[in-house]
Structure formats: structure tokens, C-alpha cells
Structure 1
Amino acid sequence: MNNPIPSNKPVSQNLTAGNELVTQQQLSDIQQLMSQMLNEIASLRQEVSSLADLPQQVSQIEQRMMVVGDLYRYETLQEQLASQQWFAADKETVTLIADIAGVSELEDLSPRDVRSFSCGELQVIDRLWNTYSEGRFGFGVQLQIYQAVGGTLETTIGENQALIQRWGAELGWRTGVSAENPGGDRWRKCDELDFSLNAPKGCHPSRWWNSPYGSRMTNYFLNRLMTCEI
């Protein structure tokens, strides 16, 4: 039998090479294990974060359930919007908001009251307007336009009057609007507005915004719409 081909390296070098090979394999296994552990930690953090949000999610669901159980309240508004009676629906929206807030007249509803206004109720009213106008009207549309002209939570807190006028002009609520005067000259009366689908996008509901508290109520309500994620 022939002798095996002798190695050109000393025995000690062969052992060292073997040890290096084992060490690299172990290192690869450790790195893989660490990667798995990091993924598991990230997954656990996500689960913990979800649990932290759970009370708020439950509260939102409870609010929506309460609204669902009170849908008869919105029957008149739904019927008016379905038949495109925009003027009547605009008045009914004011009645609904006053009723939900527990006041008899719009004048009795203060900006402070609006800060705690039910998000679920606002969502129902907005959804009805948005659905039956095919996306032209509703609080959500009005809020989007406010944000498009630069409105933020900070501008509502600062009660930026010039921004409110610019926003009102976009909704068709201001007269004398031009490139030189984007905010317009004055506020239109509610009866002067176009109560049809030809009205500017976001024009309605409009009467609700005509509060005796003026722009302060406007800013507080816009702030509430943002907080409620309308």
C-alpha cells in the first residue's frame, strides 16, 4: 500500500488551521443566534407597544359602539343629504351638534365645550356629508383644505386670523378674493352661499361655523377635528 501524500505543512500548522475553521463556524453560529434574538426582541417591543395602545383602542371602539346604538339621531340628516337637500341638511347639522353637546342654542356652545366634543359623533356627521356629496362636502374635506393652505395644530392654537381668512376664501365663504387679496374682503352670510354640488369643494356644512365666538371657535373646532383624526 502506498504511503499517503505527506503534508507540506507541519502538524502544528494543520491543527491551527483546523482550530481557525472551527472558530469561524462557531462565530457564524453565534452571529445567526444574535440576529434571531434581536428579531425576537424587536417583535416583543412591537407587542408591548400594541398593548400600551390597547386602552385607547378599546375606548375608541366603545365610543363607536355608542354612536351605532344612537343612529336614529342621524336619520333626518341622512334623509336630507340623500335627497340633496343641502340647505336643510346644513341647518340640521347645527341642530345635531347642539343636541350632542347638550345645549339648546348654538350660542350656548363655547370653544371650551368643543375641546371635549365626541369624536365618534363628529365622524358620523362627517361621513354622512362626505358620502352623499361624493367627497365634496364634510368636516374632513374642510380640514384637508385648511391643512393645504398651511394649517396645523400650532396655527389653531395661535389662532392665525390671516390663515382662517385664506381658508374661508378657498371654501367660497369670502368675497373679493383675488391674487392680490387671497383672503378676500368679508365673510359671506350663510344664505348667500351656493347650496348645490356646484359650490366650492368643502363649502358645507357651513352654518355651524358661523359661531358668535368668531374665529376662536373656528380654531378650536379645527383643532378638535385634527385631534379626532377626522
Structure 2
Amino acid sequence: MSYCTNIDCLRPQNSDSSRFCNSCGQELLLKQRYRPLAIIGRGGFGRTFLAIDEHLPDQPKCAIKQLCFQEGNTEVWHKAVKLFHQEALRLNELEHSQIPKLLAHFEQNQKLYIVEELVDGQTLAQELQQKGVFQEPQIWEILKSLLVTLQFIHSRQVIHRDIKPENIMRRSVPGDLVLIDFGVAKFATNMRQLRTGTIVGSPEYIAPEQMRGKALPASDLYSLGVTCIYLLTAVSPFDLFDITNDRWVWQEHLPAKHTVSDRLCEILDKLLQNAISQRFQSATEALQTLEQEPKKLPNIPNYQRLTPINYTPLRDLLAKGKWQLADRETWDLMCQALAKPRGSYIFSSDIDKFPCEDLETINHLWVNYSHGRFGFSVQTLIFKHVNGDYGIFCHQVGWHIYNSSYANSGLNFSLKAPIGHLPSRISIGGSQPWRYPNALTVKLAACGIGV
């Protein structure tokens, strides 16, 4: 079957041997060698065809992208043409086993065409739909494979800018991953003089700085992180981000009995940082972390650390009654005890992994210097007293039902605050805050910690 590429053709299907379309009369062969067979994809500016190359003896299959003119929008058309030419240039420069090979680039009948190697396989989006959510070993595979690819393209000053499951394909044989669709790739010729440009990419996966028209190599890393948490949860990235509290809550959406190691959580969380300075700066840095992390975070029972935690600053702040600074220091210490980056949110699932000796030390300091008013054990006692009713518990300790930032929390950093008011819940992440006091209660009981 031959397929006519005339977008206005009413009957585009033709016989294998036809030279001209029986319906509209347009020549079927592109560049007198490529015969389109069927449409396999559609986008904002054109279509992708499955085709064969009739000039070669074995008539290998290939993929042909067609850019179509949109009447009445000259500015958009010129932008699309520019991006289309850029894709051809980028593909020509990027010779890599995990990037489709460019076969041809030409214009015919006032349409632009790119002919690429056909990647025989499925996208990760298709895999997710057919097989369900991905497991941790699959995410490690994706990270290690795609980071190598990004390391390569970034070294050529190319930013993909549209990393998402639909643009990552797995070859049927031998099963390796391929990064496709460089149509919006940006040639970063001068990283120091970035200027606001057109926003390109898929909204669910786009990095904050890219949303403002500025793309960096770290923007691709962010999108890779979003891709991974989507594959782990099968939940739209829009729903994995808590806009009210400005943080990711993807761990709360993991399917039942699906666990993710702390090491992977830390790497994904760093890929997902909104602030570029807190994100991996390069694919090389991320790859090095993947290789070095087991040495830095050995699997030692009860989270024993190579470097002891220094509780002196917390003690001194509490002794001076600097409750807000002590609350923030507590957050940092909890991250350190859990081997999480400073400022990372702590989820209810993390509480079960919290080392008992660190939990006991933090609790003791708060209880001691507040004269029994504040501390984890005080909060637990109140939670038990109200029979685990989260709403009543929040009212008793003076918290809002839903978590919020320091600026909007209404917290009272003084001894006049309600009993159990501190440490605050600011450090706790997730869209189901009612899980936190219950998890804390269970953990303190397991550690034998009381008032």
C-alpha cells in the first residue's frame, strides 16, 4: 500500500506499484525513492509516515517526518520551519546508537521532509499502558541509559527540551533505549547570554526555567526526573506536584506494595529540584552520583552513618528559646539522619526508617528545653488522647489541617504556643498529612520513646 502525503487528499491509499495518487494525482514517491506506506504519528506541525527506501536492494523501512503549512499563521510557520531545519542539523551532528540516524532532508511540493532510521519498538508511554507501572530496577536502567545519551548531546551544546515517555523508545531487539524527536532541540551556542525565547516542550514535564523560555542542560535532567516519577506512579505529573505547598508528592502516589529505595528517592528528588542551583548541574554529575552513591550510603543496619550528627546547634538554639531557628535546625537534622539532602521533604514512609537514637535525641532536647511543652512524644500523647482523630489533633496542637510554608503556617514560636505545637510539620511532605502523626506514634512506640 502506498500513502499519498497530500494533506488534502480525500483517498490517500494507493496500490504498491502506483507512481501517482489515483485521487489527487500527486507523485507518491518522495525524492523519487521513498515510498510512504502509512501514517504512524501526528504532531502540531505535521505527520510521521512509515516508508520504505526503494533505491536500496532490501528496501529497508524508515520514518519520514513531514512539516505542513498552516494557513493564516505565517509567524508560527516560520518558527516551525526553523525548528524543522534545526532537527535535521542536530541529527546530522549527533551520531549515537541511542539517537535515530538521519538519512535525508529535503523539500518537495512546498513541504519539508526529514527521513530517519526507523526505531522498531515501543515508547515507554506504550509500555506503561500495556504493562503497568515501572519497578525500581527499570527506573535505574532508564536513568543510566538516558543520562549517557544526555551527556553526549549536551557535550555537543544541544538541549533536547522535550524529554518525556512518548519520546523514549525501547528497541524490540536488543532492548536498548533510544531518545527520539529532536524537533524542539535548542542549539545552546552561548550559555552565558541566554535570552527569553519561545516556550517549547510538554507542559507536564517542562522545567520551571524552561517555562520562562530559558532552557539549560539541567532542564533536560528535570524532565527526565518527571518522566521517572510518572512511570513509577502512572499519575499525571500535574497531580504529583502540590501547588499549595510548592513541592513534589510523588511518593504518596506509589501503588500499594511498591517501594522505592531511599537512594533512588534522593536522586529523583535532586533531579526534580525547582531551583537550578539545587539540581544536578550536568548529566555527568548525575552519572557520577549514581556510581558513587553506594559508597556514600552503605546499607548499614539502623542507618548508622560514617559521620556523626552534631546536635550542639539545636541544643544551643533551644536553650536560648530561639524556637523558629530550632525548628528549622530540626528539619535539617532529620534530613541528615535519613541521609536525605538538606531541605528535602520528609514523607510518612520515611518515619519508619528514622534511626531510633536520633529520634530520641531530638525529642529529648525539645522536651527538656520546653519544660515538657514541645516534642515528638508530647505530640504522640495528644494524638493518642484524641483517639487518632486528625482534625481534633490539629486543633489541639494549633496546626492548620493542611500543611503550608512558614510564611502561611500561622505557627507560634514561643512558649505561649499550644502544648505539642512544636516541632512543626513544615518539613513533612505528601498530600495526605493525616498519615504523619500516626506514623510518628507507631515509630515512637517501636523505639520505646516516651515523655
**What's the TM-score once normalised by structure 2's chain length?**
0.29
For 1:101-180, what aligned pairs fall within 5 Å after superposition? Answer: 101-105=338-342, 107=344, 109-151=346-388, 163-174=389-400
Query: 2-side partners of 1:106 and 1:114: how far apart?
Result: 16
Q: Give CA deviations for 1:155-183 in whole Å, capped at 9, x if unaligned.
A: xxxxxxxx112101100113xxxxxxxxx
The two structures, once aligned, show a CA RMSD in angstroms of: 2.8
* Corresponding residue for residue 200 of structure 1: 418
Name whichever structure is richer in helix by fraction: 1
Q: Does residue 1:228 correspond to 2:447, yes or no? A: yes
Deviation at 1:110, TM superposition (A): 3.8
Deviation at 1:188, TM superposition (A): 6.6
Cα distance change, pair 109–186 in 1 and its aligned pair in 2 (3 A): closer
Deviation at 1:221, TM superposition (A): 2.6
5+ residue gaps, structure 2, are 1-301
Query: 2-side partners of 1:75 and 1:88: how far apart?
Result: 13
Cα distance change, pair 223–202 in 1 and its aligned pair in 2 (3 A): same
Deviation at 1:215, TM superposition (A): 2.7
5+ residue gaps, structure 1, are 1-62, 152-162, 175-184
Identity %: 32
Q: Is the 8 A contact 1:114 1:220 kept in 2?
A: yes
Cα distance change, pair 167–108 in 1 and its aligned pair in 2 (3 A): closer
* Corresponding residue for residue 211 of structure 1: 429
Q: Of 64, 67, 74, which residue of structure 1 is paired with 2:311? A: 74
Q: Give CA deviations for 1:48-100 in whole Å, capped at 9, x if unaligned.
A: xxxxxxxxxxxxxxx8xx89x94x61011001000000000000000000001
Q: Is the 8 A contact 1:149 1:167 kept in 2?
A: yes
Query: 1-side partners of 2:403 and 2:346: how far apart?
Result: 21
Q: Is the 8 A contact 1:81 1:132 kept in 2?
A: yes
Query: 2-side partners of 1:211 and 1:187: how far apart?
Result: 8
Q: Which runs of 4+ in 1 moved over 6 A?
A: none
Query: 2-side partners of 1:199 and 1:107: how far apart?
Result: 26
Query: 2-side partners of 1:218 and 1:211: how far apart?
Result: 13
User: What amino acid maps onto 1:228 in structure 2?
Assistant: C
Deviation at 1:106, TM superposition (A): 5.1
Count the aligned residue pairs. 144
Deviation at 1:224, TM superposition (A): 1.1
Larger radius of gyration: 1
Name whichever structure is richer in strand by fraction: 2
User: What amino acid maps onto 2:348 in structure 1?
Assistant: P
Deviation at 1:227, TM superposition (A): 1.8
Query: 2-side partners of 1:173 and 1:189: how far apart?
Result: 12
Q: Give CA deviations for 1:185-221 in whole Å, capped at 9, x if unaligned.
A: 7667544211000000110000455423533344323
Q: Of 295, 300, 325, which residue of structure 2 is paired with 1:88? A: 325
